[in-house]
Amino acid sequence: DAMVIQNPRYQVTQFGKPVTLSCSQTLNHNVMYWYQQKSSQAPKLLFHYYDKDFNNEADTPDNFQSRRPNTSFCFLDIRSPGLGDAAMYLCATSRVGMNTEAFFGQGTRLTVV
């Protein structure tokens, strides 16, 4: 059974048109992360929520925002997608407080046209 679910798996959006990617989890983990991965590159952390506390990475563009309305759901909003935002977006969860792995969803492949 999938524990971290991302929707949609594939998203095509127009240049400049806002888009939202969603992530849900059944693990009841307190931390949720959003990573961006471009081809042949390392996944790069955009931001994370520790419970309700939002933590933005210093180099994450303002174009990227996130919402976590409850423990189970987290959204990634891209306000004005550019061609350079085309990537795989990965959601992950973990239970902080002990050394443990992060669980990833299957990712959303975003194409900007």
Stretch that binds other proteins, among 11-19, 42-50, 64-72, 74-82 (CB under 8 A): 42-50
Binding status of residue 58 toward other proteins by CB under 8 A: no
Residue 104: strand, helix, or coil: strand
Q: What are phi and psi of 46, to 5 degrees?
A: -90, -50
Binding status of residue 41 toward other proteins by CB under 8 A: yes
Residue 102: strand, helix, or coil: coil
Instruction: Determine the Cα–Cα distance for residues 21 and 11; give it in Å rounded to an integer.
Output: 8
Stretch that binds other proteins, among 12-20, 65-73, 79-87, 105-113 (CB under 8 A): 105-113
Nearest Cα to Cα of residue 7 among 20, 56, 103? 20
Here the tokens at position 72 are: 């189970």
Stretch that binds other proteins, among 14-22, 28-36, 60-68, 69-77 (CB under 8 A): 28-36
Residue with tokens 């520790």: 50
Residue selected from 19, 25, 33, 74 as contacting other proteins according to rule CB under 8 A: 33
Quick check: 103 and 23 in contact, CB under 8 A? no
Binding status of residue 103 toward other proteins by CB under 8 A: yes
Q: Given the rule CB under 8 A, which residues bind other proteins? A: 4, 6, 9, 31, 33, 35, 40-45, 48, 50, 55, 90, 92, 94, 96, 99-107, 109
